[in-house]
Each structure stands twice: as structure tokens, then as C-alpha cells.
Amino acid sequence: MLSYDLSIALLHEGMVSRDGSIVTTSLTMIDVHDIARSAATYGVSTVYIVHPSPHLRSLARTLTTHWISGYGSTYNPNRREALGGVKVVASFDEMVLDLADRSSGRAPRLLATSAKGGGDRMTFGQAFSMMNNEEIPYVLMLGTGHGMSDPLLARADYFLEPINGPTPYNHLSVRSACAIMLDRLYQSRTEV
Amino acid sequence: MLSYDLSIALLHEGMVSRDGSIVTTSLTMIDVHDIARSAATYGVSTVYIVHPSPHLRSLARTLTTHWISGYGSTYNPNRREALGGVKVVASFDEMVLDLADRSSGRAPRLLATSAKGGGDRMTFGQAFSMMNNEEIPYVLMLGTGHGMSDPLLARADYFLEPINGPTPYNHLSVRSACAIMLDRLYQSRTEV
């Protein structure tokens, strides 16, 4: 029985840049679309688009409104269904409070992935088993740019194993990585 | 031991449109990027971008050249590595001939997926096992628009099981679907 309460946070503030400094990345509209569609496929509760810029949050809301109640909602109802699960917020803390609000005050538990090695990593099977056994909201943290900075990673309660293929290349797009992580969690249900 | 010879074909001609007619869809640059990055991660031999329009093929070559040998190659070498595996061709037949050429004349075997039910579907584990045991090139056919038309699907030698999550929603982007399929094939190696 699949009964997790999993949300996704697409994060832009506190990311590592190409030169190693900590930056805020831009919001990319195709991320919103692709991640919302993957989330709808795998039964994700809410996709939080987290961005500190009011202008980019406004742009994200224009996009979602177009598909949820504007012309796009009749042109492509499938997109309405997917984007209906998107929530645009200003900060990580706003997301945590929003999730706690709708869970009788229970703080969500935060799962991160990082390409960095070491530490206690959960397998996807362990994560699924944990999520499926408790009535607690979980959040999958997704970084952009060159990944989440250490202060942001330090907020995570759990670290998932990295997604490795048979090659040393590990530069999946966040859209692809999200899809694979949701599928691996779902496929792990048979191991529980 | 992982030793498959798997290529990807991103197809645009012979697709089903929203109203059910057969159309040629436009080439989308983000598809090239994301699929090339997933392909590099999972050891895919070649990503064939198949499009009948010489203008769109030229645009695709401008993109890949920028990243392989232009300014992008020094700005982001990871992208060079991924896009180096992309080949732009005009037709499905041109792709089949190109693959046969570099395989001592052996015709590639074609794998398709379709959201339509029924028929003989292979699991990802069966497909991996088959690919891993033979020295034959395989091609994963990826449709765009509202999916491949029947004449195109009829060219496939094998049908993979559809990607289903726990919900009835089945409208993943082709970028996400490709990432999940490559990961499922790779994860299946433990079942062999």
C-alpha cells in the first residue's frame, strides 16, 4: 500500500555557482512543467517552487494560472492537473511552515541528495520504507545551478544515495534527476 | 558486466497530434540537452536527433557545435561530453543505416514504448537481459507530440512496458520518460 506524504522543493537560493561562490539561480519555466508532470505521475503532494525574487514568483504564478484556470486549462487539461499541484513560495522556511500547517503542526522531514560522497546515505528502498510507515510529511530537496551549498544541505534530515549510472558522468538535469528519484522511490515499494 | 550497445532515437516525424492526425513535431532544444545528459550518464552509444526539416537539423547542429567545439566547450566541458554523443539525421532510415554501418552490417533492433495497453510487452529486466547478451545494436525509440503513430510503432521489434506510477496520470515529458527508462534498464542489471 502506497501512502507516503511526499512533497518536492525546487530550490534556487543558497546554490553553488560554477566558481564555487553561493548564489541565487534563476527560475527556469521548463523545470516547473517537467517536475510538476513527474510529480503528478508519482503521487507527490505538492511541488514547492521556492524563489526569493517577487518578480520570478510572479512569473511562475502567471505560468501556473495560465494552465490551471486560463486558456491553457481547456487547451491542455493534463497540464492543468499537473500544475494544480504547484505552490510558489519565497523561502525554504515558508515552505516548512506551510507543510507543518497542513500536518497539524508536524514538522516535515527533509531529504536531500548530493553528488558529494561519504556520510550516512539512505538507499531509495530505506527512504521509501521510512516514508511509508509514518504519517509525517517528507520533502525531497532539489538543487539547481551547481548544487546546494553546505548551509542548505545542513538543513536536511536524511541524505539519499546519489544517482549513479555505469559511467563517471554525473550531470543530469534537475528535471531528469527528479524523475529518476521519484521512480526509484516508487520502484522500491516491492522491497518493503 | 554492463556491455549493451544502446542508442536513442528522438523522433519527430509520424507523430500523433492533439486531434489524432499524423504530424511532424518541432525540434525542442531542451530535449537535445536533457536527453544527451541522461545518455552520457547511462552509457548510451549515440543519441540520434531525427528530423526531416533541414532548417531544424541545421539549428540542432549549431547547438551541438557550440558546445562541442565553440565557446561552450570551454565554458562547460560537461556539456561538451554529453553533446558529443549526439548525431543529427534526416530520417528513421538514415539512422538505421548509420547504425548498421558501424555494426558490420547488423541491423539494429528497435525498442518502443507506448501508453497503449495490450500486446507483448517486455519488462525492463527482460530488455536489459536481451541487450546484455547479444552483440547487436539496440535503439530506444522516443516519440514526441502525443506519441508515435501506428505506422511508426509497427517498425519496432519489441515493446517495453509503459512507465506507470501510482496515479492514473501518464503525461511525463519525453525528457523525464527517457531518464526513467534508462535508469530502469540500468537498475535491472542486478536481476540478470
Nearest CA in chain A to B78: A171
d(CA A6, CA A108): 9
Query: A79 to chain B: which residues are within 8 Å by CB?
Result: 171
pLDDT, residue A116, reads 65
Residues of B in contact with A165 (CB under 8 A): 41-43, 182-183, 186
Q: A122 - beta bridge partners? A: A160
Question: Is B80 part of the contact surface with chain A (CB cutoff 8 Å)?
Answer: no
pLDDT in tens, B6-49: 999 999 999 999 999 999 999 999 999 999 999 999 999 999 99
pLDDT at A178 over 90: yes
Cα separation, A130 vs B52, in Å, equals 49
**B55-71: b (≥16 Cβ within 10 Å) or e:** ebbebbeebbebbbeee
Taking the Cβ of residue B1 and every Cβ of chain A, the question of whether any pair is shorter than 8 Å is answered with no
Beta partners for B111?
B140, B158
pLDDT band at A2 (very low <50, low <70, confident <90, very high): low
Contact B66, B53 (CB under 8 A): no
CA distance A144 to A142: 7
Listed as ranges, residues in chain B with pLDDT below 50 are: 192
In this prediction, residue A68 carries a pLDDT of 87
Closest-CA residue of A relative to B186 is: A165
Whether the per-residue pLDDT at A120 is higher than 90: the answer is no
Cell of B92: 528513421
> Domain-by-domain residue ranges, chain B?
5-191
Question: Closest by alpha carbon to B52, among B28, B88, B100, B97?
Answer: B88
* 3-class state of residue B120 by DSSP: coil
Which DSSP symbol is given to A116?
Answer: S
Cβ–Cβ contact B172 with A under 8 A: yes
Q: What is the pTM of this model?
A: 0.94
Instruction: For A18, name the nearest residue in chain B, comparing CA atoms only.
Output: B76
pLDDT in tens, A126-173: 999 999 877 899 999 999 999 999 999 999 999 999 998 999 998 999
Kindly identify which residue of chain A lies nearest to residue B40, measuring between CA atoms: A169
pLDDT at A28 over 80: yes
Three-state DSSP state, B119: coil
CATH match of A5-191 with 3.40.50.10800: no
Q: Is residue B95 within 8 Å of B9, Cβ to Cβ?
A: yes
Interface of A with B in 28-57 (CB under 8 A): 30, 33-34, 37-38, 40-43
